[in-house]
Structure 1
Amino acid sequence: MKTSIIGYPRVGALRELKFASEKYFKGILPVEELQQTASQLRSANWKLQQENGVDFIPSNDFSFYDGLLDTSCLLGIVPQRYEALGLSPLETYFAMARGYQGDKGDVKALAMKKWFNTNYHYMVPEIDDTTDIRLTGSKLFDEFTEAKQLGITTKPVLIGAFTLLKLARFTGSKQAKDCVPAIVEAYKAVLSQLNTLGAAWFQLDEPALVTDLTVEDIDLFTELYNGILSAKGGVKVVAQTYFGDIRDCYQALQALPFDGIGIDFVEGKQSLDLVRKHGFASEKVLFAGVLNGKNIWKNQYKQTVALVREINKHADQVVIGTSCSLLHVPYTLKHETKLTAANKQYFAFAEEKLRELADLKLILAQASPEASTLYTENEKLFSASRLTNDNSVQKRVAALTDADFTRLPVFAEREAIQKAKFNLPLLPTTTIGSFPQTAEVRANRAAFKKGNITEEQYKQFNFDRIAECIAQQEEIGIDVIVHGEYERNDMVEYFGECLDGFIFTENAWVQSYGTRCVKPPVVWGDISRSKPITVEYSAFAKSHTNKLVKGMLTGPVTILNWSFPREDISLKESALQIGLAIRDEVLDLEANGIEIIQIDEAALREKLPLRRSDWQCEYLSWAIPAFRLVHSGVKAETQIHTHMCYSQFSDIIRDIDAMDADVITFEASRSDLAIIDTINECGFRTEVGPGVYDIHSPRIPSVDELKQGLNRMLDKIEVSKLWVNPDCGLKTRGVTETWASLKNLVQAAKEIRATL
């Protein structure tokens, strides 16, 4: 039995790539040192996998920012506006990722969206009628050669042609089918080069195959790979899928001349049934994803051994591996010094999953796997109880009724009441909540955690920053202000730390996009709130201004989706537990005079099943009610906002409206306001704040640029329904660019307001 890894984390166990990249962006680290850091990380990853006996070690899974962006650059899919800057290849790459504003021009970044059902974000390839798709880059080959020079033969990895075309944005008359000849030739050129370099296997990632496919989609996939695979030569090619099953194209994949097919047996609910029903081509290798690549709980060998035995009945050649890239879990438990041994024994991060694969290889090689010490020790762990239950929490969830999920009066009546009460101007301005987390803010938090300052000193620092933030918001004229969230390390981790039932890591960082990493909490037990979380800071902010102050919370679905969830109870049960805890916080904020409360559901769509047929029964049937549970108890006069980050919302817009919030803000600056058309088509009733500028770029939008965006919105949105705000929180931005951008935002709103 051989083992395979689809991909490995790349930011570094201690975020070395993040810090090096950010120094490079600031001009204080030479490009040579950035490249050296990258080379060291790649080398360490390859050697670690080799030491753990991985047979199929990936290369080109490393990226400075995003793998799909790497693929675009490899194949010449670089819009002319970036080429026209005249930058170096790496600078052009980062301009596509982050935007560019300098002496050579001013361009926005490419659109950014969520990678299927994860919290990872990819850069959307942009194809227009002038795009010349052809092999122009060398990164794929350079990294294969780099590993080979270390004595490690790797399996080069690349996003497949079908997934590339399905995720691309076409801005001209050209469509996916028009790109087939060029993209086939480009991938054939890749295969030719890999043959020259002596690659044995080549992994083409095709996660788009686990989504709903039409006959036309399957025909496109077939046409692409009949062409591409004609140039295989001596290289064996595996079509690697993940995040679900391939029910729509299972037989089409079998018929194509792939040498291997990667199938997810963790999230792929029908994968085993497909193999049982249709068998598996004897000449192909089945790369079986049997180890969860998304969660951090230790694998139960008994279940996995039984699964592999069943797979072996229907496939002659089987390689076991992870269900998806390990990009979605932290690096290693080695740097976790504060987790107890009792906790750590249940966890497996990326490095530990390598050892689990090595264990499974040894266990499965034995005539009697159940007699293996590795097997029996693992089973002892799973036969013990973690004692994570709280009966009072479970009883509270069980006692919920329909009334707990229904807010009264209805939206139209609330809207009229709130407009009369608040008397805000047309196009009210606000922000999404967080303000820049400066080095001083982070140092204050670190000093408190280390015990170097008292709680009183820690809080006073935050109070001082809040007062300054409020004064500056008042000065530039923002209508609904926020306290800045200086006390928060992360919008989910912070709440997890304040709720019972979570445990936390020190260095379990996971890449979200580019240099942005998050440290997800771990849902260890039943969840509850034992004391108020945000009331003190929100009340302080309210006492320092006569303007409306918006209380800031994270919603139950996002808290759950951006945590590592339990596997012993349902996601629905966990979401309702969190919902009740946040509901208590909402009511406390209201009782303390906070009249506008934002409950962020940035990750609402993230765990939406990739197939429409599973949406209502598996996810939306509890995710939407969990949000409604949080706010259903407030008064009509209390205005509930929510916010949603980079994702594709058009296909669930009616469900979003059914969340019954009063105002919804969402990303729109990178998506060309496409969601607004969908809002209008479905009769969306909620007031909206499409983001007018991209906070993930260091660019400062001009007043004219912002006015143009607002005028485009006003062409489609009733003025009484439109709010003006950035597209996300400002935590990651610099102080100077933040205030300059907000000043322009307010000025743009005022100038348009004057014409209405």
Structure 2
Amino acid sequence: MGKSLSSNLGYPRIGEQREWKKALEKFWSGQVDKEVFLSELKKLRFKSLQKQKEKGIDLIPVGDFSLYDQVLDTSVMFGIIPERFSYDEGPVSIDTYFDIARGNKGAVASEMTKWFNTNYHYIVPELQGAKPKITENRPLFYYREAKEELKIEGKPVILGPVTFVKLAKGYEPEQFDAILEQLIPLYAEILQQLEAEGVQWVQMDEPILSTTLHSSDIDRFKKVYEALNSAVPKLNLLLQTYFEGIDDYQDIVNLPVQGIGLDFVHDAGKNLASIHQHGFPEDKVLAAGVIDGQNIWRSDLSEKHDLLQNITNAVPAERLIIQPSASLLHVPVTVKNEQFDPVLQKGLSFADEKLVEVSLLSKGINGGRKAVEKEINESTAAVYALNQSGDRNVLSVQEEIRQLSGYRAEREAPFNKRKKVQEASFGLPFLPTTTIGSLPQTAEVRKARREWRKGEWSDDQYGQYVKDQIKSWIAIQEEIGLDVLVHGEFERNDMVEYFGEKLGGFVTSKNGWVQSYGSRCVKPPIIYGDVAFREPMTLKESVYAQSLTEKPVKGMLTGPITILNWSFVRDDIPQHEVTHQIALALRKEVEALECEGINMIQVDEPALREGLPLKKEKWENYLKHAVYSFKLATASVKNETQIHTHMCYSNFDDIIDAIHALDADVLAIEAARSHGGLIKTFEDKAYDQGLGLGVYDIHSPRVPSVEEIIDILDRALRTLDPELFWINPDCGLKTRNEKEVIESLKSMVAAAHLAREKRLSAETP
């Protein structure tokens, strides 16, 4: 190599102004045809590649761009198409590709779940009955495109076979090795074609290596990469890990590949200690992830330069690649489109700025620190100024945290006693029906919010518009026959960003978008200082909605763990301390709602599982703080006040004890997109508190039939205590259109009435 190289693992696909999202949604709605759609995305892809080149990146990833999801891309490349979708031979059509991701009128979408410990969600591969084969060589296509049209010698990115199978479903554990045996020759063929094309480096993403693995998994990696390395003797394979340190260091770094990528940001010093303790193979390149690919804070380049100097004591610079710790898919595109306070603005680094940091560090290692001394000093000063700012040193908040020492957050009475009090208070029917919270945010709703934000509407005008929406939908919900209503959250742009705009210590960006799933982009708030309650955030809308109906209306809040996990969080204090600050602020909101007669309050925690550390030995401490924070926010209410929570798209088997420990009166979960699979969790382990089952998938553009909802209910009621059971959709209804929502909820309510009639018939002599 001669010198260290700069590299990137992946770049945001959405564009600075969410051009990717807009193109997708125009195509799905029929506003543009396939040719126009693909042309627009090609322009965006080329712009991203050119920016990386301009920033000085030597190894630019290609093939990381996707029409929807990189895991789905891998499934499709190998012809792993669920049988319910039509497919014969050859490249998979765009229509089939999107049907797998989104569902269609005849088939439900594939399951979606979180990508390791991020807020990105991937489409779960379904391996049952699959006969893998190559439908197209995607990495080769993108490599040729970049080389021929942009003169960029790209680094193809491929999701590795072991991680791919680990992330899939539809097979028994004993079938794992047989599936790998089918995939190895297909991966080898893909790589051989890349080798023949003259590709120098291929990035094999195997993030599963950063989780807790069994010795049999390490044996699988040895077998897989011995086969692949033998198949492509002239191709350099870079085995890329990220998100954590690796446990089996010596086994992994000695795998038969030419490079190993390690995370030196989120490993708590583990990877660095392993290198110094065990050394690093002299025949390999180390790709050192030293710039945080998952958060948005500017690096102190002095510290990062010192870290790299430390690494070069074990691995010389000529065998070093400098890069982010993970794909930049998880951060916004650029800070240049923001207008924050100068101290905060200078303390931020999005994707483009991180590439500059990588390039500067590479120059510093190759040319000496003096070559970039000015830039290093500027970064150190910016980080210091932010840490010393008044917003990060709010004495009243810090005193509240100190006073928590020894405080136990517990409800006044246990659930079985609260349940009786709440039943008498609410008088709900058997199998009460409700929704998760949000109702359709139409183009009209979004337009009203934009005009208000731009100052074209007054506060009073916008407030009245929101009230009109609430009034309309309270009437619709009553007409449908729902038992517990919601105000619809029309005033909220996002379930986390909304609270970020109301709480002290947060700031929201204008263009800080990241992809969550499909075309769904979110703009995570930035927790940059000490979190403080300012004034009630949801009280006005909740009280107004309750005044319109005799039925209970749920107050709707986002929980402390989800606010933390779906925000960009300051990195200068422990995360659990930030969570406790959020929980204390939310407790004041909960108490304000209760004081005004809102006695059913939902505190959503859909991201509780997302925050689980990748290492199982760290779970206990994380879950302890998560449970404590939820109860800190909710446990001060009276017995009559019913606390709900909601979680979705996760495997709950291994955290069910923690979920129970939250002590929520009602837990709402997803059961439709996983095709009822989550019910098995409650078949294996009893849950003795209220449980709301998500009986239809709101992410698929289809209206569920009464019959399919009844099928899920029948299975659930064979497992769960019917007296504890609620019926609801699997998530909020914000993204669906009004007609679809109304018809879907009518199906849900009809199914509930049939279940009630069935019970009544069984009880009648």
The structural deviation recorded for 1:279 is: 0.8
Q: Distance in 1 between matches of 2:372 and 2:641?
A: 62
Kept in 2, the 8 Å contact 1:192–1:233? The answer is no
Kept in 1, the 8 Å contact 2:360–2:372? The answer is no
Q: What TM-score results when the alignment is normalised by the length of structure 1?
A: 0.97
Deviates more, 1:6-15 or 1:252-261: 252-261
- Which of 639, 642, 647 is 2:645 aligned to? 642
The corresponding residue for 2:423 is 419
Question: 1:211-238: CA deviations, max 9, x gaps?
Answer: 1111121122222222222211321101
The corresponding residue for 1:335 is 337
Q: Does the alignment pair 1:107 with 2:110?
A: no
The corresponding residue for 1:183 is 183
The corresponding residue for 2:569 is 565
The corresponding residue for 1:202 is 202
Q: How does 1:153-164 map to 2 (within 5 A)?
A: 153-164=153-164
The corresponding residue for 1:538 is 542
Q: Distance in 2 between matches of 1:614 and 1:532?
A: 35
SS at match of 1:395: helix
Kept in 1, the 8 Å contact 2:298–2:379? The answer is no
Q: Does the alignment pair 1:515 with 2:514?
A: no
The change in CA–CA distance for 1:173 and 1:371 in structure 2 (over 3 A counts) is: closer
The corresponding residue for 2:763 is none
Question: 1:388-413: CA deviations, max 9, x gaps?
Answer: 22111111121125555111101111
SS at match of 1:583: helix
The corresponding residue for 1:89 is 93
Q: Distance in 1 between matches of 2:396 and 2:253?
A: 52
Q: Which amino acid aligns with 1:331?
A: V
Q: Which amino acid aligns with 2:231?
A: A
The structural deviation recorded for 1:127 is: 0.4
- Which of 753, 758, 763 is 1:750 aligned to? 753
Q: How does 1:226-265 map to 2 (within 5 A)?
A: 226-248=226-248, 250-265=249-264
The structural deviation recorded for 1:161 is: 0.3
Q: Distance in 2 between matches of 1:352 and 1:47?
A: 15
The structural deviation recorded for 1:253 is: 2.2
Q: Distance in 1 between matches of 2:461 and 2:578?
A: 35
- Which of 470, 474, 478 is 2:474 aligned to? 470
Question: 1:18-49: CA deviations, max 9, x gaps?
Answer: 01111111111111111011111110111111
The structural deviation recorded for 1:172 is: 7.1
Kept in 2, the 8 Å contact 1:654–1:684? The answer is no
Structure 1 segments, 4+ long, off by >4 Å, are 84-88, 171-174, 368-371, 401-404
Q: Which amino acid aligns with 2:681?
A: T
The structural deviation recorded for 1:622 is: 1.2
- Which of 3, 6, 25 is 2:6 aligned to? 3
Question: 1:230-249: CA deviations, max 9, x gaps?
Answer: 2113211011010111113x
The change in CA–CA distance for 1:225 and 1:63 in structure 2 (over 3 A counts) is: same
Q: Distance in 1 between matches of 2:534 and 2:378?
A: 37
The corresponding residue for 1:547 is 551
Q: Distance in 2 between matches of 1:215 and 1:683?
A: 32
SS at match of 2:638: coil
Q: How many residues align?
A: 748
- Which of 666, 670, 676 is 2:669 aligned to? 666
Kept in 2, the 8 Å contact 1:229–1:258? The answer is yes
Q: Distance in 1 between matches of 2:375 and 2:660?
A: 51
Q: What TM-score results when the alignment is normalised by the length of structure 2?
A: 0.96
Q: How does 1:355-434 map to 2 (within 5 A)?
A: 355-369=356-370, 372-384=373-385, 385-388=388-391, 389-400=393-404, 402-434=406-438
Q: Distance in 1 between matches of 2:368 and 2:571?
A: 30
Q: Distance in 1 between matches of 2:563 and 2:722?
A: 33
Q: Distance in 1 between matches of 2:415 and 2:406?
A: 18
The structural deviation recorded for 1:681 is: 3.3
Q: Distance in 2 between matches of 1:354 and 1:173?
A: 40
Kept in 2, the 8 Å contact 1:597–1:641? The answer is yes
Q: Distance in 2 between matches of 1:255 and 1:361?
A: 25
The change in CA–CA distance for 1:396 and 1:27 in structure 2 (over 3 A counts) is: same
Q: Distance in 2 between matches of 1:486 and 1:356?
A: 40
The change in CA–CA distance for 1:168 and 1:363 in structure 2 (over 3 A counts) is: same
The change in CA–CA distance for 1:235 and 1:537 in structure 2 (over 3 A counts) is: same
The corresponding residue for 1:28 is 31
Q: Distance in 2 between matches of 1:675 and 1:469?
A: 31
SS at match of 1:82: coil
The structural deviation recorded for 1:467 is: 0.6
Kept in 2, the 8 Å contact 1:369–1:375? The answer is no
Q: Does the alignment pair 1:457 with 2:457?
A: no
Q: Distance in 1 between matches of 2:381 and 2:11?
A: 29
Question: 1:127-176: CA deviations, max 9, x gaps?
Answer: 013x1112212322211111011100100001000000101102579721
Kept in 2, the 8 Å contact 1:363–1:374? The answer is no
The structural deviation recorded for 1:551 is: 0.6
The structural deviation recorded for 1:648 is: 2.0
The structural deviation recorded for 1:721 is: 1.5
The corresponding residue for 2:325 is 323
Q: Distance in 1 between matches of 2:646 and 2:369?
A: 54
Q: Distance in 1 between matches of 2:670 and 2:190?
A: 36
Q: Which amino acid aligns with 2:254?
A: A
Deviates more, 1:87-96 or 1:275-284: 87-96
Kept in 1, the 8 Å contact 2:363–2:371? The answer is no
The structural deviation recorded for 1:362 is: 2.0
Aligned-residue CA RMSD (Å): 1.6
SS at match of 2:260: strand
Q: How does 1:594-609 map to 2 (within 5 A)?
A: 594-609=598-613
The corresponding residue for 1:214 is 214
The structural deviation recorded for 1:621 is: 2.2
Q: Distance in 2 between matches of 1:681 and 1:46?
A: 49
Q: Distance in 2 between matches of 1:143 and 1:444?
A: 41
The change in CA–CA distance for 1:255 and 1:342 in structure 2 (over 3 A counts) is: closer
Q: Distance in 2 between matches of 1:242 and 1:209?
A: 8
SS at match of 1:353: helix
The corresponding residue for 1:48 is 51
Q: Which amino acid aligns with 2:380?
A: E
Question: 1:700-732: CA deviations, max 9, x gaps?
Answer: 111111111111111111111211111100111
Question: 1:164-211: CA deviations, max 9, x gaps?
Answer: 010110257972111122101110110111012211111110000111
Kept in 1, the 8 Å contact 2:292–2:324? The answer is yes
The corresponding residue for 1:615 is 619
Q: Distance in 2 between matches of 1:289 and 1:591?
A: 50
Q: Distance in 1 between matches of 2:354 and 2:368?
A: 23
Uncovered stretches (5+) of structure 1, i.e. residues with no partner = none
Q: Which amino acid aligns with 2:728?
A: N
Q: Distance in 1 between matches of 2:202 and 2:233?
A: 12
Kept in 2, the 8 Å contact 1:502–1:524? The answer is yes
The corresponding residue for 1:448 is 452
Deviates more, 1:360-369 or 1:111-120: 360-369
The corresponding residue for 1:505 is 509
The structural deviation recorded for 1:379 is: 2.2
Q: Which amino acid aligns with 1:139?
A: R
The corresponding residue for 1:267 is 266
Deviates more, 1:195-204 or 1:430-439: 195-204
Q: Which amino acid aligns with 1:547?
A: K
Q: Distance in 2 between matches of 1:47 and 1:307?
A: 29
Q: Which amino acid aligns with 1:382?
A: V
Kept in 2, the 8 Å contact 1:480–1:547? The answer is yes
SS at match of 2:335: coil
The change in CA–CA distance for 1:371 and 1:217 in structure 2 (over 3 A counts) is: closer
The structural deviation recorded for 1:513 is: 0.4
Residue identity over aligned pairs, in percent, reads: 45
